A and B are shown apart, each in its own frame.
Chain A
Amino acid sequence: MEAFLSSLVSVAFHGLAYGMILYVISVGLAVTMGLMGFANLAHGVFAMAGGYILTSSLQHTSIPFPAALALAFFAVAAGSVVLERTLYARLYGAGELEQVLFTIGLIFMAVAVARLIFGTLQAPVMLPDYIRGQYPLFGREFPTYRVFLIAVSGAMIAALWFGVERTRWGAMVRAAVDNRPMAQSVGINTRRLFTLTFALGSGLAGLGGALGAEIVAVQPTYPLEQLVFYLIVVAVGGQGSLRGPLVAALLIGFSDTALKYWLPQFGAFFIYVATIALLLWRPMGLFGRRV
């Protein structure tokens, strides 16, 4: 019993850490889908870029860990603005098929570039000493890095929710998600709003990829392998919602960790089956708006 309880706590802890990271990465996709209806399958590219920025700056330069995290956020956000202005913006009015194909094309290009620069091996994460080792909490030992990761993700999520619920920018985003033509006609510059939101979402993905580099191996096939989890988070959580994707991400975090721990012989089988069942029950996702 004691052993089971201990493994239960351990699974819950690691599941929480993975779920939080998954949320930080994919919340940008949920907002992009809700705001512009753009099916950006290449969202994982931003997370991978963040992961590579962190791992290579820790490996080759002496900049401190927090600065590397910030760099991952801002560099990816800036890069995404360039992509958005030059390429994505051309396809806003286009059909879903074009968006899907275009973003798959971006994934292939990113995979190739990553292979060319970083090779096919997983990028090593060289953490500074102060976030390694174990951290005592409630009379138990937890890996310090995961505690740090949960704290940082939690802070980011709190800041994001505060921003969306309490600031002028957040009010404009919510208005545009609810009814874009109406928001436009009362004078909100939805194009600029979208660029800004896209940058923020991509930056968060970069940050999530950087933070999670130790949990989810950073390698060139990252955007392809992780895509399905982002899609599950957004589809199950509900597009354009902030709450839904968090619930979905935590569900995936817990169930994936639990399944890997107790039933490794089934892989991700049950997650896919549960996703299919859930989407049949609620096609718009758990917290999606009925259209």
Chain B
Amino acid sequence: MSALPPAAAGSAAHTGGYVADPRIRWQEWLPWVLAVAAFFGAPDYLSLGARILIFILFALSLDLILGYAGIITLGHSAFFGVGAYVAGILGAKLGVTDPLVQLAAAAAAAGVLGVVTGAIILRTTGLTLLMLTLAITLVFLEIANKATSITGGADGLAGVVVAPVLGLFRFDLYGKTAYLYSLAVLFVGWWLVRRLIYSPFGASLTGIRENAVRMHAVGAPVYARMVAVYAISATLAGIAGALLTQTHQFVGLNVLGLEPSGELLIMLILGGVGRIYGAFVGPFVYLIAQDYLAKQFPEYWYFGIGLILVLVVLFARGGILGIVDAALARLRRPSA
């Protein structure tokens, strides 16, 4: 719990909350301006760009339960993976090729899974909860690995057919459609998450994170709120997974298990947990660094992310945005 930056440090922190001003500040348009600029300015990097957008959505969904509700999970990839495989199986095996239908089906599947598993596991805490979240994603990894006739097993599921979006925009080789499509979905997801966080519901989540016993005492339905946010988060993660499948026209085992969950945690922590834009900065920095470094120096890359994680935990618990906040505060102090 103490991982979180000091409660809503000034208006620049965008940690949300019921008492905060819910109007969208001008800084909050920056990521979108940047994203559109990147579309025109860096046409060679659009597939990487789409990947970043998808992981931002995935990280947003984790931030909702980890950063705001304080639920620690090693198994968030379960929902991402289920969404990815639902979209993949629909497109490759069942002939359902409309991307929005695939997206809706993936969201529904992940959401239902979120309700069911959330209702079961959120009664536990601590190591047991960690263990259960991990076990659930591993169950799905085993299913995906062994049910080869449906999922393709270790080879993955290739040849996922995705029809043009709205019947108009065909997925092209350069990733233009994939990029704009992901951007549009992310925008909707961001808007939803932002609304949630600035609502009374979001405030009650922060309350549960800070002190669940006291929330019980003031009469908040703690368990129901946690299951609800877990299901919402699962739905968003499922949508992110489906996007990944659609933009790659492929789904493999690497969307399930401990490693994608761990990587996602690293991205979110790197950006700053418990704040909306931490989920934007983290995947952006991480995936670009990965694109440059991971293939050239795989050993050093893993060592580097491990080291960064340790350093962030020991010295910079607010992540990159926490460092930016601290620097801004220091700049402002002399003048004030």
Q: Is B2 an interface residue (CB 8 A)?
A: yes
| A239 & B299 in contact (Cβ 8 Å cutoff) | no
Q: Which residues of the other chain, B, contact A224 by a CB distance below 8 angstroms?
A: 258-259
Given contacts A102-B309, A267-B146, contact A279 B302 (CB under 8 A): no
Instruction: Name which of A13-21, A141-149, A159-167, A225-233 contacts chain B.
Output: A225-233
Q: Which residues of the other chain, B, contact A273 by a CB distance below 8 angstroms?
A: 139
Q: Which residues of the other chain, A, contact B303 by a CB distance below 8 angstroms?
A: 108-109, 112-113, 116
Q: Is B186 an interface residue (CB 8 A)?
A: no
- Determine which of B143, B269, B299 lies in contact with A112 in the assembled complex, contact meaning CB atoms within 8 Å: B299
Q: Is A171 an interface residue (CB 8 A)?
A: no
| A266 & B313 in contact (Cβ 8 Å cutoff) | no
Q: Which residues of the other chain, A, contact B223 by a CB distance below 8 angstroms?
A: none
| A109 & B307 in contact (Cβ 8 Å cutoff) | yes
Give the Cβ gap from B188 to chain A, nearest Cβ, in Å: 29
Q: Return 22 A-B CB contacts under 8 Å, by A number.
A: A39-B127, A39-B130, A95-B2, A101-B269, A102-B309, A104-B262, A106-B306, A107-B306, A109-B302, A112-B300, A112-B303, A112-B306, A113-B303, A228-B135, A231-B127, A265-B146, A268-B142, A269-B142, A269-B143, A272-B138, A276-B136, A283-B123
| B66 & A97 in contact (Cβ 8 Å cutoff) | yes
- Tell me how many residues of A have a C-beta within 8 Å of chain B: 47
Q: Is A98 an interface residue (CB 8 A)?
A: yes
**Interface residue ranges, A against B (CB under 8 Å):** 33, 39, 87, 90-91, 94-98, 100-102, 104-113, 115-116, 224, 227-228, 231-232, 234-235, 239, 265-269, 272-273, 275-276, 279-280, 283-285
| B310 & A105 in contact (Cβ 8 Å cutoff) | yes
| A87 & B310 in contact (Cβ 8 Å cutoff) | yes
Q: Bound complex: CA of A18 vs CA of B85, how far in Å? A: 34
Q: Which residues of the other chain, B, contact A98 by a CB distance below 8 angstroms?
A: 2-3, 313, 317
Q: Is B254 an interface residue (CB 8 A)?
A: no
| B309 & A108 in contact (Cβ 8 Å cutoff) | yes
CB closest residue in chain A, given B2: A95
Q: Bound complex: CA of A235 vs CA of B134, how far in Å? A: 12
Q: Is B331 an interface residue (CB 8 A)?
A: no
- Determine which of B131, B143, B145 lies in contact with A279 in the assembled complex, contact meaning CB atoms within 8 Å: B131
Q: Is B326 an interface residue (CB 8 A)?
A: no
Per-residue 0/1 for B280-309: is the Cβ within 8 Å of any A Cβ (1 yes, 0 no)? 000000000000000000111111011111
Q: Which residues of the other chain, B, contact A95 by a CB distance below 8 angstroms?
A: 1-3
| A235 & B128 in contact (Cβ 8 Å cutoff) | yes
Give the Cβ gap from A268 to chain B, nearest Cβ, in Å: 6
Task: Tell which of A90, A116, A269 has the most Cβ of chain B within 10 Å.
Answer: A269
Q: Is B323 an interface residue (CB 8 A)?
A: no
Q: Is B314 an interface residue (CB 8 A)?
A: yes
Q: Which residues of the other chain, A, contact B317 by a CB distance below 8 angstroms?
A: 98
Per-residue 0/1 for B307-333: is the Cβ within 8 Å of any A Cβ (1 yes, 0 no)? 111101110010000000000000000
Q: Is B109 an interface residue (CB 8 A)?
A: no
CB closest residue in chain B, given A266: B146
Q: Bound complex: CA of A106 vs CA of B301, how far in Å? A: 14
| B142 & A272 in contact (Cβ 8 Å cutoff) | yes
Q: Is B72 an interface residue (CB 8 A)?
A: yes
Q: Which residues of the other chain, A, contact B301 by a CB distance below 8 angstroms?
A: 112
Q: Which residues of the other chain, A, contact B314 by a CB distance below 8 angstroms?
A: 87, 90-91, 102
Give the Cβ gap from B181 to chain A, nearest Cβ, in Å: 32
| B146 & A269 in contact (Cβ 8 Å cutoff) | yes
Q: Is B126 an interface residue (CB 8 A)?
A: yes
Given contacts A105-B307, A235-B127, contact A276 B262 (CB under 8 A): no
| A111 & B72 in contact (Cβ 8 Å cutoff) | no
- Determine which of B72, B135, B139 lies in contact with A100 in the assembled complex, contact meaning CB atoms within 8 Å: B72
- Determine which of B66, B120, B146, B258 lies in contact with A280 in the assembled complex, contact meaning CB atoms within 8 Å: B120
Q: Bound complex: CA of A107 vs CA of B143, how far in Å? A: 26
Taking A94-B313, A228-B135 as known contacts, 10 extra A-B pairs with beta carbons closer than 8 A to each other, sorted by chain A number, are: A39-B130, A96-B126, A104-B262, A112-B302, A112-B306, A224-B259, A235-B127, A272-B139, A272-B142, A279-B124
| B127 & A33 in contact (Cβ 8 Å cutoff) | yes
Top 7 A-B residue pairs of the complex, sorted by shortest distance between their CB atoms? A108-B306, A105-B309, A109-B306, A112-B303, A112-B302, A105-B310, A235-B131
Give the Cβ gap from B21 to chain A, nearest Cβ, in Å: 28
Give the Cβ gap from B49 to chain A, nearest Cβ, in Å: 26
Q: Is B265 an interface residue (CB 8 A)?
A: yes
Task: Tell which of B3, B262, B301, B302 has the most Cβ of chain A within 10 Å.
Answer: B302
Give the Cβ gap from A72 to chain B, nearest Cβ, in Å: 23
